Amino acid sequence: MDSPIYKRIIALLIVTLVYTACFKETALTGMFVSYKSVNLRFEQSVAWNSNHHFKVIDVPNDDYTLLSMGDSHVGSTINLDRFFNIARTTNVSAVVMVGDLTNGHAGDYTLFQQHLPDKDTLITFPIVGNHDLHYEGWNEFYTRFGSSTYLFTVKTTVATDLCICLDNAGGTLGDKQLAWLTQLLENTRPDYRHCIIFTHDNFFRFRHTDSTNPLVEELQVLMELFTRYRVDMVITGHDHIHNAKLFGNTWYLTMDALEDGLSNAGYLKLNVKNDGMLFAFEYLN
Amino acid sequence: MNSKISLSLVLVCLLLIGCFDLSAQPKLNFYTDLGENNVSKGLFIKTAGLGRYQFGNNLLESGFQADLKNTNKSVFSGFSISGSRNFMISHFHLGITGFWIITPFSELLRETNWGGLLKHENNHFEFSIGSNFRTYAFRQKAIREYGIENNAIKLHEILNLTYSLGYQLKPRDSQWNVGFTLTNIDNFLIEQETNPMLRLNGLYRLRTPLSIYVQAWYKSAGATNLAVNYFGFFFRTGIIWTLRYTKE
Work out the minimum CA distance from B198 to partner chain A, whole angstroms: 12
Chain A residues lying within 8 Å of B73, measured CB to CB:
none
Give the pLDDT confidence of A153-198 residue by residue, as tens digits. Answer: 999 999 999 999 999 999 999 999 999 999 999 999 999 999 999 9
> Does the distance separating the beta carbons of B152 and A248 come in below 8 Å?
yes
Task: Mark whether A45 and A23 lie in a shared domain.
Answer: no
Q: What is the pLDDT of residue A1?
A: 44
> Does the distance separating the beta carbons of A175 and B41 come in below 8 Å?
yes
Task: Mark whether A12 and A83 lie in a shared domain.
Answer: no
Average pLDDT over residues B212-238: 92
B73 C-beta neighbours (distance < 10 Å), count: 10
Count the residues in chain A. Answer: 285
Directed axis angle between helix A174-188 and helix A38-51, to 10°?
A: 50
Report residue A175: phi and psi, to 5°. Answer: -70, -35
Closest residue to B228, CB basis, from A1, A34, A174: A34
CA angle B114, B180, B25 (to 5 degrees): 60
Beta-ladder partners of B178:
B202
> Does the distance separating the beta carbons of B158 and A205 come in below 8 Å?
yes
| Interface predicted TM-score (ipTM) | 0.90
Look at the domain B3-242 and name its fold.
Answer: Porin (2.40.160)
> Does the distance separating the beta carbons of A206 and B231 come in below 8 Å?
no
Q: Best interface-test mutation with B: which of A38, A103, A217, A234 has the largest number of B CBs within 10 A?
A: A217
Residues in Cβ contact with A71 at an 8 Å cutoff, skipping those fewer than 6 apart: A99, A100, A129, A237, A238, A240, A255, A257, A258, A259
Do B130 and B115 form a contact (C-beta atoms < 8 A)? yes
Chain B residues lying within 8 Å of A1, measured CB to CB:
124
Question: Would the CA dihedral through A85, A90, A91, A92 be positive or negative?
Answer: negative
A121 touches chain B (CB under 8 A): no
Q: Is the pLDDT at A50 greater than 70, yes or no? A: yes
> Does the distance separating the beta carbons of A130 and B227 come in below 8 Å?
yes
Average pLDDT over residues B18-47: 85
Burial class (CB in 10 A: 0-12, 13-18, 19+), B9: middle
Directed axis angle between helix A137-145 and helix A38-51, to 10°?
A: 10
* CA separation for the pair A218, B231 (Å, rounded): 9
Task: Mark whether A20 and A55 lie in a shared domain.
Answer: no
Residues in Cβ contact with A111 at an 8 Å cutoff, skipping those fewer than 6 apart: A74, A75, A77, A102
Chain B residues lying within 8 Å of A40, measured CB to CB:
none
Q: What is the pLDDT of residue B172?
A: 87
Q: For chain B, give every domain's residue range.
A: 3-242
Q: Percent of chain A scored above 90 by pLDDT?
A: 82
Task: Mark whether A24 and A159 lie in a shared domain.
Answer: no
Task: Mark whether A7 and A45 lie in a shared domain.
Answer: no
Chain mean pLDDT for chain B? 89
Chain B residues lying within 8 Å of A179, measured CB to CB:
41
Task: Mark whether A66 and A137 lie in a shared domain.
Answer: yes
Q: What is the pLDDT of residue A28?
A: 62
A47 C-beta neighbours (distance < 10 Å), count: 12
> Does the distance separating the beta carbons of A220 and B138 come in below 8 Å?
no
Q: Is the pLDDT at A31 greater than 80, yes or no? A: no
The contacts found for A77-82 with CB under 8 angstroms, 24 or more apart, are: A77/A111, A77/A112, A77/A115, A77/A260, A78/A260, A79/A258, A79/A259, A79/A260, A79/A265, A79/A284, A80/A112, A80/A115, A80/A258, A80/A260, A81/A115, A82/A284
> Does the distance separating the beta carbons of B223 and A170 come in below 8 Å?
no
Restricting to A residues 58-97, those with a Cβ less than 8 Å away from any Cβ of B are: none
Q: What is the pLDDT of residue A26?
A: 55
Kindly identify which residue of chain B lies nearest to residue A132, measuring between CA atoms.
B227
Q: What is the pLDDT of residue B224?
A: 79
Q: Is the pLDDT at A36 greater than 90, yes or no? A: no
Q: Are β-strands A64-69 and A94-97 bridged in parallel, bridged antiparallel, or unpaired?
A: parallel
* CA separation for the pair A246, A69 (Å, rounded): 20
Average pLDDT over residues B69-77: 83
> Does the distance separating the beta carbons of B125 and A169 come in below 8 Å?
no
Residues in Cβ contact with A280 at an 8 Å cutoff, skipping those fewer than 6 apart: A268, A269
Domain enclosing residue A24, as ranges? 1-33
Radius of gyration over alpha carbons of chain A, in Å? 19
Q: Best interface-test mutation with A: which of B226, B231, B233 has the largest number of A CBs within 10 A?
A: B226
Q: What is the pLDDT of residue B175?
A: 92
Q: Is the pLDDT at A8 greater than 90, yes or no? A: no
Q: Is the pLDDT at A123 greater than 80, yes or no? A: yes
Kindly identify which residue of chain A lies nearest to residue B185, measuring between CA atoms.
A216
Task: Mark whether A28 and A38 lie in a shared domain.
Answer: no
Work out the minimum CA distance from A36 to partner chain B, whole angstroms: 8
Q: What is the pLDDT of residue A24?
A: 47
Q: What is the pLDDT of residue A210?
A: 82
> Does the distance separating the beta carbons of B190 and A216 come in below 8 Å?
yes
Task: Mark whether A63 and A23 lie in a shared domain.
Answer: no
* CA separation for the pair B46, B32 (Å, rounded): 6
**Coil, strand or helix at B128:** strand
Question: Would the CA dihedral through B146, B151, B152, B153 be positive or negative?
Answer: positive
Chain A residues lying within 8 Å of B221, measured CB to CB:
170-172, 212, 214-215, 218
Instruction: Transcribe B129-158 into DSSP letters.
Output: EEEEEEEEEE-HHHHHHHT--GGGSEEEPP
Residues in Cβ contact with A33 at an 8 Å cutoff, skipping those fewer than 6 apart: A20, A21, A24, B228
Chain B residues lying within 8 Å of A34, measured CB to CB:
227-230
Task: Mark whether A207 and A83 lie in a shared domain.
Answer: yes
A60 C-beta neighbours (distance < 10 Å), count: 7
Q: Is the pLDDT at A21 greater than 60, yes or no? A: no
Using alpha carbons, list the distances in angstroms from residue A130 to A31, A112, A241: 11, 16, 17
> Does the distance separating the beta carbons of B229 and A170 come in below 8 Å?
yes
Work out the minimum CA distance from B163 to partner chain A, whole angstroms: 15
Q: Which of the four pLDDT bands, split at 50, 70 and 90, describes residue B248?
A: very low
Kindly identify which residue of chain A lies nearest to residue B190, measuring between CA atoms.
A216
Q: Which of the four pLDDT bands, split at 50, 70 and 90, describes residue A245?
A: very high
Q: Is the pLDDT at B156 greater than 80, yes or no? A: yes
Q: Percent of chain A scored above 70 by pLDDT?
A: 90
Closest residue to B229, CB basis, from A6, A37, A204: A37
Task: Mark whether A23 and A41 lie in a shared domain.
Answer: no
> Does the distance separating the beta carbons of B111 and A210 come in below 8 Å?
no
Kindly identify which residue of chain B lies nearest to residue A222, measuring between CA atoms.
B39
Which CATH number does the domain housing residue A101 bear?
3.60.21.10
Beta-ladder partners of A58:
A155
Directed axis angle between helix A106-115 and helix A137-145, to 10°?
A: 30
As for how many domains chain A has, the answer is: 2
Q: What is the pLDDT of residue A13?
A: 72
